Amino acid sequence: MNTRQTKTLAIVLAVLLAGLFATTLSNNHRDTSAGSMLFPELKSKINDVSQLTVSKAGESVTMNNSAGRWALVEKQDYPVDTGKLRGLMLSLADARKIEEKTSNAELYERLAVEDTAPDSQGTEIRFGGADSQRSIIIGNIAQTKYRYARIPGDAESWLIDQNPTLPGDASGWLLAEILNIDSTKVQSVTITHGDGETISIDKEDAAVTDFTVTVIPEGRELSYPSVVDGMAGVVSGLNLVDVAAAIDRQGDDSAATAVFTTFEGLQLTIESSRHDENTWITVRADHTDANSDEAREIEDRVSGWEYQIQSYKADQLRRRWDDILKAEE
């Protein structure tokens, strides 16, 4: 081989090696091109995620997965709505980069993708397991169904093809359902207030539409026949607004006790009280059959907790005679 051929071969080899090096370098970094996945590896590893933290404007909520049970740290490890959590993770796993936006840090605020701080607008989501953590800053909504986003530490910000659903506060992540007993199954309700005022309603058969008030004060009458029927509906779709560890409320002047009994023998006792214009309740479940799975399942979920509930449910739960009777003439 002559000198010219040797030089040519050396040049070709150098070019090939440079190309190989460039390819290797590219494979060791994230794909930053439009159309690529935001987190290419997340789809296959989504079930390995065991912790998720959501931070906005200096406040954070953290959710941990322990033995298959997701719980919210800031709410004393109350169960999380895993449907909302999984929806968020799937949205991130499916997210693709549509278009690169600004790389100028001074312009991040316009998209709400600036670094997390007490006065920042965006939401930072950190997720992962024991071995690794990833994060993303989710900014403003764009074109009604997309979002601006930026991975912390990267200069580039992106328009992504997903619009992750993010509850507005910690309570929005909680498993909302407290009770969901069909009102047609309720046989009787008794509400007793701290001052002794008591209202009792019942019906003989589940097929009967309206409840009967057991005893009506002499000389008074119901404002209309079905006025008390809503009381039975309290235990249907009863959802929390907030939750806290139960505390002793004995001696509370605002306390009232409501007892719901179903035709199947389930008994639900709901203690309620008023605080800062909100109604908080505790729930206890019993059954005529000591081995009732339904009562035990409810008791396991609600024992040790008190719940803030919706005002329209609270109004039915704490009814008094003046709420259901015609005004005295």
Helix (H, G, I), strand (E, B) or coil at 300: helix
CB 212 within 8 A of CB 201: yes
- Going by C-alpha positions, the residue among 200, 178, 205 that lies closest to residue 190 is 200
Q: What is the pLDDT of residue 131?
A: 74
Helix residue ranges, H only, 68-143: 82-94, 108-111
Percent of the chain scoring above 90 in pLDDT: 80
Task: Scan for tokens 């906005």, then name that residue.
Answer: 56
Using pLDDT thresholds of 50, 70 and 90, give the confidence band for residue 274: very high
pLDDT in tens, 74-94: 999 999 999 999 999 999 999
302: amino acid identity, one letter: V
Q: What is the pLDDT of residue 292?
A: 87
The mean pLDDT value for 303-310 works out to: 97
The mean pLDDT value for 302-320 works out to: 97
4-13, 226-235, 276-285, 320-329: lowest mean pLDDT where? 4-13
Mean pLDDT across the chain, nearest whole number? Answer: 89
pLDDT in tens, 143-171: 999 999 999 999 999 999 999 999 989 99
